[in-house]
Structure 1
């Protein structure tokens, strides 16, 4: 029987390469801490090295041009990844589990049990040589045209792209934000790049108990720095237009505790998670399930502050979500840009005079950020840029210097 960790990572790989879907945030929620750690390691390695793993396999197939079913690819990729890069996993476990996986009718291709066993047995005879051979293959094999587009969006000039790609190919370290006063867990220390940011020291234990007790939350450094905007005008009504999972909603509530806070989320499951997160943190907000554009178009009282963390390509999150490298060709970027422009116009209509609108995307692509901001200023003369960050009205950390996700933020005020 396939262990839960390997089964979960195989399911995730089938979602990405079989169905063209992103890996859900809750894909490993039912696993124990130990199983989740192994599953995350296997999945991350397979997604970040898929091109090289397939290049290693092809010449070892009887008919490389014909290829093999996805179930066989997944089983072999998982086995090779463990043999090459997870020295703590025993050779017997890595090989036998892969054979069991390919024998599973849902996740594998049973006729290839012998093929998977033969390839992995031979590879396992010298794990160091296997690792060296895989790492000797060109890193370009793991870079799709979409990855190249992301790198060009992040760094318009070629200098530094290789350095950035190398960083994006390593799993990111989590960032945290405290929610209650008191001592910090072992291994967390404050970081000056955002007012409440906490980073975890290398080798420190993950602060699971601290998080479960509601004394802190996970939140990327970029999101925290975005929310460190300066704004002195009175704020009595706030709209978080695309609120799940609730990290920025929480920051808004803590920043403006007396304001009425409204949070929108289109997907019912994400809205439920949003409500649960806010309740666990003691945040009082009116959560509504609905598409932000349609909800704002209904009209009503204006808001003094609107946060529009808009749907986007997610190109700035590929370090955390490496599957996006392989799914970029499925994105309808034009449709996303239309949605962003529509949401911006509707947010402007619901913004009070003298109010603040913050538009953000977790993307490096200029067409989702700078181009949208310029177009909004051109078509809406009542809107002006607002200087709310140290960098001015535009928040975009240097991709080579900044350890958080790729992010763009723009601040506007209404005459």
Structure 2
């Protein structure tokens, strides 16, 4: 019998993708680092550079699936483990999550999912002693995991309890469950086009939404899709594309985007003919906005500054319009950024609502009489939306609400509140294919300075 050749772990196809996925999961769950920080930019995982495109896509899908289904995975694994998930070896925890996610929701053969997770723990000094446990638990998961999921039949397991309780209190239990179901699905790719949405929907094998965005299920690198390099469109959730349109005709008007980066709304205003000033405090994020504008061949004045302290530059008479896309808990974007659910805490609300209040006060000061202020957040929390505007209207007699008409949002009256503000939910815009339905959760209000 010929001798068995020992295969180094680095030679096993797919192991590098899973090792990097484990590192990034550890970054989110134990070091409170965002997915964006770990996937792009100067602080991105160093191993990403050597990953093939196919492995990079697998790694991203693995991490997103686990974070989207973390509560359900915890339920299943707790039923399969006598003593719970090992806490002294993060790599063992990651290996169990990665293996179980592949077995339960991904098109990976069970034996491959088990084998690669075992190799993952074997390659880590602290976790190696759990290789037998990981092997046994994942084999049981392949046999018993789906019945354990069916036993609870609750998408709400995958929403942190504090967040679910808030949604039930504000939106009611039925809507809260609909939101939880909507954010459990991997979302489509939404883009905003410069012109001819129907043509780009055809070229990108997608469809045109009532709001004018193009939605497609195409996978892979966005930069390789037709029209990207030519600057014909940019990535932007269909809900995120609505607030900038609330200014109406902006051709020739002076508009400030006070929290501009990464620049999707700024690009909409510039494309519509506004003279835009983009303000953001982050030099790194502003550099990305500058790169995007170069690709899109759009013009704007870019200012790196703290918006709450910016004096308005050379414009002493005030601006025609101010857009405040305020920093927030981002709970409306969990379907696209599933790490948000596990990184945010209820305690974060206090500092964020205080900042939102300061930004609104600054916007009112910078606005000329008769000018329009559009305030928006990608949050489902009323403190960051409806309550923020109520507080401003009580404190500032110089501003009044300008209700949004259904005709301005493609007739979608269900996304408007009784006061005439915009309130989109992840469960809005349903589709027979869940991947083609849904919107990010957004709030927006339009105000006029008298």
* TM-score of the aligned structures, taking structure 1 as reference length: 0.87
Question: Structure 1 unaligned runs (5+)?
Answer: none
CA change 1:137–1:21 in 2 (3 A) is: farther
Matched, 1:238 2:255: yes
Matched, 1:351 2:387: no
Matched, 1:395 2:422: yes
2 CA distance for matches of 1:351 and 1:235?
16
Partner of 1:304: 320
2 CA distance for matches of 1:205 and 1:269?
22
Q: From 203, 209, 216, give the equivalent of 1:191.
A: 209
After alignment, is 47-56 or 347-356 more displaced?
Answer: 47-56
CA change 1:393–1:130 in 2 (3 A) is: closer
Partner of 1:250: 267
Matched, 1:267 2:263: no
Partner of 1:323: 339
- Compute the displacement of 1:92 (Å): 3.8
After alignment, is 396-405 or 213-222 more displaced?
Answer: 396-405
After alignment, is 131-140 or 112-121 more displaced?
Answer: 131-140
2 CA distance for matches of 1:406 and 1:74?
30
1 CA distance for matches of 2:114 and 2:251?
63
Determine helix, strand or coil for the equivalent of 1:221. coil
Deviations 1:18-43 (A, max 9, x none): 11232116617755442233223211
Partner of 1:3: 15
Partner of 2:100: 80
Determine helix, strand or coil for the equivalent of 2:84. coil
* 1:148-187 alignment, distance < 5 Å: 148-152=164-168, 156-180=171-195, 183-184=199-200, 185-187=203-205
Q: Is the 8 A contact 2:76 2:145 kept in 1?
A: no
CA change 1:60–1:186 in 2 (3 A) is: closer
Partner of 2:7: none
Q: From 21, 24, 29, give the equivalent of 1:12.
A: 24
- Compute the displacement of 1:222 (Å): 0.6
1 CA distance for matches of 2:320 and 2:207?
34
Determine helix, strand or coil for the equivalent of 2:374. strand
CA change 1:231–1:203 in 2 (3 A) is: closer
Determine helix, strand or coil for the equivalent of 2:344. helix
After alignment, is 344-353 or 205-214 more displaced?
Answer: 205-214
Aligned length: 405
After alignment, is 137-146 or 263-272 more displaced?
Answer: 137-146
Question: Structure 2 unaligned runs (5+)?
Answer: 1-9, 41-47, 407-415, 430-437
2 CA distance for matches of 1:78 and 1:64?
16
Partner of 2:74: 54
1 CA distance for matches of 2:146 and 2:82?
23
Matched, 1:229 2:246: yes
* TM-score of the aligned structures, taking structure 2 as reference length: 0.81
- Compute the displacement of 1:382 (Å): 1.1
Deviations 1:250-299 (A, max 9, x none): 00001124x2x211122222111111111110111122222211224889
2 CA distance for matches of 1:174 and 1:330?
29
CA RMSD of aligned residues (A): 3.0
Determine helix, strand or coil for the equivalent of 1:396. strand
After alignment, is 33-42 or 245-254 more displaced?
Answer: 33-42
2 CA distance for matches of 1:313 and 1:75?
29
2 CA distance for matches of 1:105 and 1:205?
31
2 CA distance for matches of 1:65 and 1:8?
20
Deviations 1:49-88 (A, max 9, x none): 222322333354453397553221111110111122213x
Q: Is the 8 A contact 2:259 2:326 kept in 1?
A: yes
Q: Is the 8 A contact 1:363 1:408 kept in 2?
A: yes
Q: Is the 8 A contact 2:65 2:101 kept in 1?
A: yes
- Compute the displacement of 1:353 (Å): 1.3
- Compute the displacement of 1:145 (Å): 2.0
* 1:135-154 alignment, distance < 5 Å: 135-137=150-152, 139=154, 140-152=156-168
CA change 1:35–1:345 in 2 (3 A) is: same
Deviations 1:311-347 (A, max 9, x none): 1111111111222222332652111010000111011
2 CA distance for matches of 1:49 and 1:232?
43
Partner of 1:99: 118
